[in-house]
A and B are shown apart, each in its own frame.
Chain A
Amino acid sequence: MRNYNEETLAVLLRTLPAAPEAWVKAAQEIPLARRGLDDIVARAEADRAFREALVMDAEAALEGAGYEHDPALAEAVREHLTP
């Protein structure tokens, strides 16, 4: 059994610095991306009326555009569109 004295623990804790937050967030959004997040954001950037509808009520706008009911996706869209 290794002796975890203070010095060893300090070294081991320092060995794993946090990954950049933006990278982590992007990786965490992979399931949402697979469900169309990137396409929705791109369409909102190109279509002002769609963007406004999403900002006002993302879930309703998505369902109106033919997406399945998906609160997590709607929340992610809101996050991407609001500054």
Chain B
Amino acid sequence: MPVVETDAQLVARCRAGDDDAWRELVDRFSRYVYAIAVQAFRLSEADAEDVFQEVFARAYQNLSKLRNDAAIRPWLAQLTRRLCLDTIRAGAREQLGEIPESSGVDDTIARLDESLFVHEALATLSSNCREILDRFFARDESYQLIGDALDLPAGTIASRISRCLVKLRTELEGRNPVAAESGG
């Protein structure tokens, strides 16, 4: 089973100038930042891409200002939220652009936090389980496509998914649920 670095350890390595750590950090939070932009704020793909790049550029620039390395997730959420609002306001000045209800955004981000918590647990499973569950649920691939990609009979994919979900649930039962932390 892979040992996954904590967020704090990863941030510390990034701050020390480790390019591999930065790649890992982007990989770890890319789905989260993307989902906040397109699900919570319903930005267009073009606007979401601008926000996405700006979030990571600012995060890279300001990583040293983060007071608590373990709070990288809420810090990124806050940064993404602010940049999404700026984008919507800029759009509103030009024409449409509607700022979503704050409570709706909070609910969506809470759901994304929980989803990220599940993805973090997923990262500790075997590579086989990670691949199967990610391909089926997050990438929406068919049994056939997964079977072809992983060189497994398509008929065994459903039972493998089921077994991997049991392992994921067991992993989650040993973890603390998402805590609201304060960033930088």
Contact = CB atoms under 8 A, between A and B. Distances in A.
SS class of chain A's interface: helix, strand, loop or mixed?
A: helix
Given A6-B165, A9-B168, A27-B30, A16 B35 contact: yes
Interface string B104-132: 00000001101110110010000000000
Interface stretch (B4-12, B19-27, B89-97): B19-27
B160 interface: no
Give the interface size class of chain B: 35 or more
Given A9-B165, A27-B52, A2 B35 contact: no
B68 interface: no
Nearest to B171: A4
A15 B168 contact: no
Given A16-B119, A23-B53, A31 B172 contact: no
Contacts of A66: none
B34 A13 contact: no
Nearest to A30: B60
A14 B169 contact: no
A28 B27 contact: yes
Given A27-B56, A28-B26, A6 B162 contact: yes
A13 B183 CA distance: 25
A17 interface: yes
Interface residues of A, number: 26
A2 B177 contact: yes
A13 B22 contact: no
Contacts of A23: 30, 34, 49, 52-53
Interface in B126-142: 133-134, 137-140
Given A9-B169, A13-B115, A28-B27, 16 more contacts: A1-B173, A2-B114, A4-B168, A4-B172, A5-B169, A10-B137, A13-B138, A15-B35, A16-B31, A16-B138, A17-B139, A23-B30, A30-B56, A31-B60, A34-B60, A72-B19
18 contacts: A4-B168, A5-B169, A6-B165, A12-B115, A13-B119, A13-B133, A13-B138, A16-B31, A16-B115, A18-B30, A18-B134, A19-B33, A19-B34, A19-B52, A23-B34, A27-B53, A28-B27, A30-B56
